[in-house]
Structure 1
């Protein structure tokens, strides 16, 4: 599954450069141009990693990092702080308030990507691995294989992508719109109710006697994978 990186940057030229290069490297991106927007977007969809500028309108990057670390959903999300402030005291402050890494502007893209990959490997191995196990479910994206309780399950391509998306973020609730973007893509027009049809097919394929439905419906919110199925 493509890692989702939230870019928090108010300078248009830098934000555009980051978006372009991240997408070229295969990452999915979101962009927030101020601190308030960053917190809102991180709440709506928890990122796999955040690139956080120090100097932001409304809320500083330091305050954004503090608030993200107080919330259960985002307390473990890797944060790379980007700043023109290169003094040792500034680096220490950035790391002390919860940033996992600190990069001084201007920086090179190869160095940034090396740090991104290192953090993702260290903190969210599931995002980069071919095989994921959650409860009694196993998925191997390289072999395109799914099993439940050791029994092979045959899924169509869309149901496979749906299950992979859920399994890489177990317990997280996704709205139908978020699932459309993640599984079908931003540029493809598909009716929202199509999600329900494919969720139904996925449930039918995964159904096993004496075992719970692994897909949980969250009323007025969307769907999530049960952490214990």
Structure 2
């Protein structure tokens, strides 16, 4: 066995993970849908091994659930579980914002402003994928400035669960303008150096996001 063999297999596993994750986020694979590694491997043009590895990782993120010998399926959307995930992300985001404030540079804040303009443009043209990507990049700046690798890893692990909710929210423009305004105000507060006010602003937005998602469930715009 050469040194390149495990690297190549890992790359294929990463590719399978990314593509299956994206299919779940965008709704190509719907909540509750049963999946088989053989069928996914055929669709992806890969062998079963990297697909199985990807599904194991996706199970760890909560996007896939398996009952051995019975089924492997895309995890159904459960309002209670979504609320629990939001509560954890809210607490982590508050910590990241509060910790990041002393370390954010003018360059960081200018970058966040530019990304928010990209986010606004994506919302305007109804490009949910671009909006989600911009939103991620916007929030990644204070997370990086917080310089807490454990926090960053946990947030990264939880993000896929909420991404499939945010994708639908952005695709319907539901709350898009509100998010643009939130980003703008957050940058303003971060620039003032008021860590408490910035954390409070961020927490309020997570609460509002939870209300919007609750409305999507109530209006049956989210499959369960």
Q: Which has the higher contact order (CA 8 A, sep 6+)?
A: 2
What TM-score do you get using the length of structure 1 for normalisation?
A: 0.29
Bigger helix share: 2
Q: Which has the higher strand share?
A: 1
